[in-house]
Chain A
Amino acid sequence: MSKIMVVEDDASLREIYSIRITADGYDVVSAGDGEEALAVAVREKPDLILSDVMMPKISGFDMLDILRSTPETADIKVIMMTALSSDDQRARGERLGANRYLVKSQVGIEDVVNAIHEVLGDRPAVPQSAAAQPAAQPTTPTPSQPMTQPVPQPMPQQPQTTYGPAQ
């Protein structure tokens, strides 16, 4: 079963993500900052890391940089999450090899779970309703759509359960 590492400095949010992701059948390990995350990544070898960007000690970006330059962890899939939506941040995430870059105020926890499934290719992204699951589709090898759009996605496309502000 795929293993996910959740890196988030807020303990409650860490718990919420862990519980929700476990409910989809994944194994979950977690870390409270970038430094701990690197140690846990080497030890646990997760298939995917879900990480906040703004954290104490070392930022999510620095952590990503180190992950990508360490052979044992270079191929781990990474989804970055941030409160900041600036284009330079997104570009930086892309450059450092993040598979996805999600902006907290625009996505909800269900979108995060969908993103995890998409990146791992173990179930295609499910739209708003919990429909019967269609056959799995292969993951795209390159960083996917949301990071490379020239025009930003209009907000209303997001499904109902929002992590932050309401639609």
Chain B
Amino acid sequence: MSLFSSKKTKKPSASETSGLAELALKTIHDGVLITDRNNIIQFINPAAITMTDCGSANNAIGLDYGLLIKLESKEGRELSDQENPLLNAMKNNQPLESFRGSLIVGQTNKRLPISISVLPADNLGGQKIITFRNITKELEEEGAQTEFISTASHEMRTPVATIDGYLSLCLNPATATIDARAKGYLDAAQTASKHLGKLFQDLLDATKLDDGRIRPKFKPMEMVGAVRTITNSFQTRATEAKLNLRFGSEDISPSDSRRLNQVVYGFVDPTFLVEIMSNLIENALKYTPAGGSIYVNVLGDGDRVLINVTDTGIGISADDLAHIFQKFYRADNSDTREIGGTGLGLYLVKQRVEAMGGRVWAESAFGEGSTFYVSLPRLTGEEYEKRMIAFNNNINGGIK
């Protein structure tokens, strides 16, 4: 029996329905805007008026939506046109699903954390419906959760260090004498305790960015040199694992197959860059069997810095590919189960890349190797010079 056919109640009339719809829009806390095909505001509900502090519907209707909805990144950074998903959705008449950003409130210095969506209407009018909601409370709850994980992970580090420390003493002939069997068991115990320690460290690292305790500290940098240095620091490990690790040449570049020894400038947090590249290269090392190769390359691709880490390893299936950047996700197959990992590495990479205004994605097929791409904002030579001067002035004149 259908849920909808059981009772015989009087259906509301068209005008009653319209009245009900109006009631909904007037009452809800979510902000709603409707624009015409040219992005001019035709309708604004009370919640949106309040959140944007525009005073009244009349002040908003007739304006380009961009004059009312000014966004910064959720970390409070300016969003370039390229990085602004709202702008792109409105420009291209595309939907936008729940973008978290920071709304600049009216003419004030106040910021409101919001989650904003765009839905092109499916009628002939070409209108667009923008909805957004205040996520302050959500962020607080998430913050509390993050804080808990962070505190717990931090607390657990001392016992883990203690376990590892005593195991080291057992395994060191200068401080203890053990038989061969004990050595085997204790080695295994130490491996497990190191894994546990790494898990806590990764958790801590992931939460540090989540709860805003650390923010990127941007520095203008020459990217080719920086990434080369990081790559070179992995040479020893690559050689030990019988892998060929190369920087620069013979890579797979999605946009250009020429390889130029360029000088490419970016504006990044150096620590984040090290963490990102280390994670990607470590993954390549882990998931590529002996005899394989890993290529790391940096290119200037238009106004982006494009970095790729390509390996000839075990690859990632299409099913897993959609999920690998999620927290704790680990591709589960006989190869990965043996290799081990915390499932947080790529989540961390994505977090940090996005905090710097970049994008990370992967291309792979199971059994056929993988390529991870990182795209970051690029500076021209001139911009680099300017920012270096500003950066050095801050260092010398600023308070430490």
Q: Contact: A162 with B162, CB < 8 Å?
A: no
Q: Contact: B164 with A154, CB < 8 Å?
A: no
Is B257 engaged at the interface, CB distance under 8 Å to the other chain?
no
Q: Contact: A16 with B165, CB < 8 Å?
A: yes
B234 nearest CB neighbor, chain A only = A156
Give the A interface residue count (CB, 8 A).
34
Inter-chain contacts of B277 with A (CB < 8 A): 154
Q: Contact: A13 with B274, CB < 8 Å?
A: no
B159 nearest CB neighbor, chain A only = A12
Is A125 engaged at the interface, CB distance under 8 Å to the other chain?
no
- Kindly state the separation between the CA atoms of A151 and B158 in the bound complex, as whole angstroms: 28
**Residues of A123-167 whose CB lies within 8 A of B:** 150-157, 161-167
Q: Contact: A12 with B162, CB < 8 Å?
A: yes
- Kindly state the separation between the CA atoms of A24 and B194 in the bound complex, as whole angstroms: 24
Is B270 engaged at the interface, CB distance under 8 Å to the other chain?
yes
Inter-chain contacts of A17 with B (CB < 8 A): 165
Given contacts A19-B169, A105-B201, contact A91 B174 (CB under 8 A): no
- Kindly state the separation between the CA atoms of A140 and B283 in the bound complex, as whole angstroms: 37
Q: Contact: B168 with A10, CB < 8 Å?
A: no
Inter-chain contacts of B386 with A (CB < 8 A): none
Q: Contact: A164 with B201, CB < 8 Å?
A: yes
Encode B46-88 as 1/0 by CB contact (under 8 A) with A. 0000000000000000000000000000000000000000000
Q: How far is the CB of B168 from chain A (nearest CB, A)?
A: 6
Encode B25-65 as 1/0 by CB contact (under 8 A) with A. 00000000000000000000000000000000000000000
Give the B interface residue count (CB, 8 A).
38
Residue among A13, A20, A162 making CB contact with B197, cutoff 8 Å: A162
Q: How far is the CB of A162 from chain B (nearest CB, A)?
A: 6
Task: State the majority secondary structure of interface residues on B.
Answer: helix
Is B20 engaged at the interface, CB distance under 8 Å to the other chain?
no
- Kindly state the separation between the CA atoms of A83 and B200 in the bound complex, as whole angstroms: 13
Q: Contact: B400 with A164, CB < 8 Å?
A: no
- Kindly state the separation between the CA atoms of A164 and B199 in the bound complex, as whole angstroms: 10
Inter-chain contacts of A77 with B (CB < 8 A): none
Residue among B197, B226, B282 making CB contact with A156, cutoff 8 Å: B282
Q: How far is the CB of A153 from chain B (nearest CB, A)?
A: 8
Inter-chain contacts of A164 with B (CB < 8 A): 157, 160-161, 164, 197, 201
Q: How far is the CB of B274 from chain A (nearest CB, A)?
A: 5
Q: Contact: A16 with B166, CB < 8 Å?
A: yes
Q: Contact: A165 with B400, CB < 8 Å?
A: no
Inter-chain contacts of A24 with B (CB < 8 A): 174
Inter-chain contacts of B201 with A (CB < 8 A): 105, 164-165
- Kindly state the separation between the CA atoms of A167 and B241 in the bound complex, as whole angstroms: 14
A-side residues, CB < 8 A to B, are: 10, 12-13, 16-17, 19-20, 23-24, 83, 86-88, 91, 104-105, 108-110, 150-157, 161-167
Closest 7 CB pairs of A and B: A166-B194, A16-B165, A165-B197, A165-B198, A165-B201, A23-B174, A12-B162
Listed by A's residue number, 15 A-B pairs whose Cβ atoms lie within 8 Å are: A10-B158, A13-B162, A16-B166, A16-B169, A20-B172, A23-B175, A104-B157, A151-B226, A154-B230, A154-B233, A154-B274, A164-B161, A165-B202, A166-B191, A167-B194
